[in-house]
A and B are shown apart, each in its own frame.
Chain A
Amino acid sequence: MEVDILLKAVGDTPIMKTKKWAVERTRTIQGLIDFIKKFLKLVASEQLFIYVNQSFAPSPDQEVGTLYECFGSDGKLVLHYCKSQAWG
C-alpha cells in the first residue's frame, strides 16, 4: 500500500528533480531522509530535517502512512525538507 508524497525544498537546500513519489505506508521518516540524502548526493554526516505542515518535524521512526492519514490533503502528503532546522 502506497501514499503519494510531494517533496518541497526549504531555503538553499537543493531541489529534487523528481518531487512526487509514491511511498510505502510503512516507510519511516528516517527512511525518507536517507533516500533524499542519497538522491541529492549529500554526505552521510550532513543533517536533513523533514517537516509536516511547515510546523513540526516528525520523529524519525514515524510512518509515512500515519502522517498521510492525519495530515494529507488532496490525495497527497506535502513534506518540506531542509539542511538546517527551519521551524524549530
Chain B
Amino acid sequence: MKHYEVEILDAKTREKLCFLDKVEPHATIAEIKNLFTKSQGKSLKDEDVLQKLPVGTTATLYFRDLGAQISWVTVFLTEYTGPLFIYLLFYFRVPFIYGHKYDFTSSRHTVVHLACICHSFHYVKRLLETLFVHRFSHGTMPLRNIFKNCTYYWGFAAWMAYYINHPLYTPPTYGAQQVKLALAIFVICQLGNFSIHMALRDLRPAGSKTRKIPYPTKNPFTWLFLLVSCPNYTYEMGSWIGFAIMTQCLPVALFSLAGFIQMTIWAKGKHRSYLKEFRDYPPLRMPIIPFLL
C-alpha cells in the first residue's frame, strides 16, 4: 500500500512543524491532526524507547529549551537554610534590628525560647529530609524559582521572627495552657509529617521514578492516608496552626494561610494525577482536608 508523507508547516512563519511519514491514504484529516498532536504533545520521558514512539521510520524530536535550570536539592537547601539562620538573628537580638538597649538581650518569656526551638527544629528536619529522605521525580526546576521561593521563605521567616522575638512581644492570652496545647499539636504534626515522608520514600526504590498509590502502614500517623491524598500537607498545616496558636502572632497565622493556599493547590493537583493514573484509587480520599477539601 502506498503511504503518504505529510509535512505540516506553520501557517504564518512557514516553519516546518511536523513530518509524518507512513500516513495511510485513507487517513482522515482528524486522524492526521491526532498524529500531529501526539508527536507535538507531551514531553518524552528519559525511559521512553524509540521503537515504541508513534513516529515513522524517521523520528523527529523537538527540543524545547526550558531555560536555565537548578537542581531541586539546591533550591530546597537554600530556601530552608535561610529561615533557620534568619530566625536566630532575631532570637539573639543581633544589633540594628531592635533598639540598641536590647542588643543581645534575651526574652523573659518561656514561649519565646520554645518558639525558637520549634522553628529551628522544623527547618533542620526539612534540611535533613531533603538530604536523606526525599526521592525527587524531577532533577531540576527553572532557575527563577530559587529567587521566588527564597523571597517567600526568608521574607516570612524574618517577618515572624521580628515579632516573636520583639522586646514588646505579648505572650498568649491563655498562658501556659495555650502554649502546652499548641506545642502538643505542633509535635504531633511534625511526627506525622515525617512519618508520611518516610512512607512515601518507601514506596519508591532508590534511583527509580515509579509511582504507586500510598497506603496506611503500621505507623498510626500514616492512617491519615485513608482520608487524604496528601497527609504530609495536612500535617504541615497542623504544625503551623500549632505554632500560630503557641506564639499568638498574626504574621504566623498569615504565613500559615499563605502556605495553606499553596499546599491546597498542590494537593488538588496531586489528587487529580492520582485519579487519572490509577483506576482503583480509593474513593473516600480528599486532597488535603478529610471530607472537606
The answer on A and B forming one complex is no
